[in-house]
Each structure stands twice: as structure tokens, then as C-alpha cells.
Amino acid sequence: MLEIRFHGRGGQGAVVASRLLALAFFKEGKWVQAFPTFGAERRGAPVAAFTRVDEEPITLRCGITEPDVLVVLDVTLLKDVDVTQGLREEGLAIVNSPQPVKLDGVRTCVVDASSIALEQGLGTPTYPIVNTAMVGAFAGATELVSIESVEKAIREYVTIKTEENLRAARQAWEEAKESCRG
């Protein structure tokens, strides 16, 4: 079973990203789960969301404490939250950042999803909406799901600025393919 944990701030789209990724995997015939965890969050507060993927039905019904992949939608969370807690030994962290990021003992892929989102008119400079870009980055960095399935999921699930979100996902996928593999 593949387990993915998303870390973001309220308003960035971490919950939508986890659902989009699950839908993309579902389109490839996988069994999936996507769910958030949060308390009295507000815009800007840390949130987590989870996606599970398997070839068989998933009966596990708890949060993900030992993820295979981390998707960090806001680099500033690295100062506030121990996002790497429980990450499996061969795990990968995909981080939205304009600068290189080093996490001790963690294979890290960095994509500037905020710039991509803003270029596509998704959100504001204060609150870029990076969810579709980060799902595209996941596809490009891991090759576990195709960009075509991500695009199908976006077309089905995202009803506002669909074309802009498609372009953001594709651009982040290309950036991750170039900078994160190897």
C-alpha cells in the first residue's frame, strides 16, 4: 500500500490535493482513500490530508503516521511542524519552495509551485493555490501516476479555472521530471 501525507496551510488546497491525487489513481484502476485531519483550523493554520493507494480494497481506517511520500504545500511549515515525522526510510518529500531545501536524511524534491500557481492566476501572492501544481509535481517526481490521469481528475473535480489548473499541473510535472528524478 502506498501512503501519502499532505501538509499545507488552510486555504492552500491540501485537502483538495489529496482528493485529486486519489481520483487520478482511481482512474488508473487503483483502490483509494483520501481524507483530512484538522481541528479548529482557519486560513493559514497547518492542516494535514492523506491519500492511500493499493491494488486491493483498503480496510485501514486511521491517519497515516508512516508515509511513503510527503507533499509539503508551504515551505514555511518546515519551521513549524515536524513534517518528516514517521517518513519511511526510502521515503520522498516533495516540497513547494523557490529555493533548494535539505531535510536531514530525507530524499527531497523541490518545485516552485507558488510561482507556477501565480503565473496561472491561481490565488493571490499572499495565498497562492498550489494544490493542482503539487499533484502534478507528485506525478512528475514519482512516476506512480500519469499526468494524463491527473489531468482527467482535474477536469472532473475542479470546476473553477480548470484550464489554469491543468496548465499548473502540467508545468509542475515537467519541472519535477527535470529536477527530481535520478
Q: pLDDT (tens digit, 9 = 90+) per residue, 121-152?
A: 999 998 899 999 999 999 999 999 999 999 99
pLDDT of residue 25: 98
CA distance 76 to 16: 20
Burial of 39 (0-12, 13-18, 19+ CB in 10 A): exposed
Q: Please give the residue that has the higher pLDDT: either 89 or 21.
A: 21
User: Strands 107-111, 69-72: parallel, antiparallel or unpaired by DSSP?
Assistant: unpaired
pLDDT of residue 85: 92
Q: Is the pLDDT of residue 59 over 80?
A: yes
In this predicted model, what pLDDT tens digit does every residue of 13-27 receive, in sequence order? 899 999 999 999 999
Q: Is the pLDDT of residue 182 over 70?
A: no
pLDDT of residue 11: 79
- pLDDT-derived band of residue 42, with 50, 70 and 90 as boundaries? low
**What cell does 30 get?**
487503483
Mean pLDDT across the stretch 50-79?
Answer: 94
pLDDT of residue 15: 92
Task: List CB contacts of 151: < 8 A, sequence separation 6 or more.
Answer: 166, 169, 170
pLDDT of residue 80: 83
Task: List CB contacts of 148: < 8 A, sequence separation 6 or more.
Answer: none
The residue to which cell 487503483 is assigned: 30
pLDDT of residue 38: 65
End-to-end CA distance of the chain: 23
Q: Is the pLDDT of residue 61 over 70?
A: yes
CB 63 within 8 A of CB 37: yes
Domains defined along the chain, listed by start: 2-180 (3.40.920.10)
pLDDT of residue 62: 87
CA distance 102 to 105: 9
pLDDT of residue 12: 83
Q: Note the Cα 163 to chain centre separation in Å.
A: 19
The residue to which cell 480496510 is assigned: 59
Mean pLDDT across the stretch 1-16?
Answer: 92
Within a 10 A sphere around the Cβ of 113, how many other Cβ atoms?
Answer: 36
Q: What is the pTM of this model?
A: 0.94
Mean pLDDT of the chain, nearest integer:
93
pLDDT of residue 23: 98
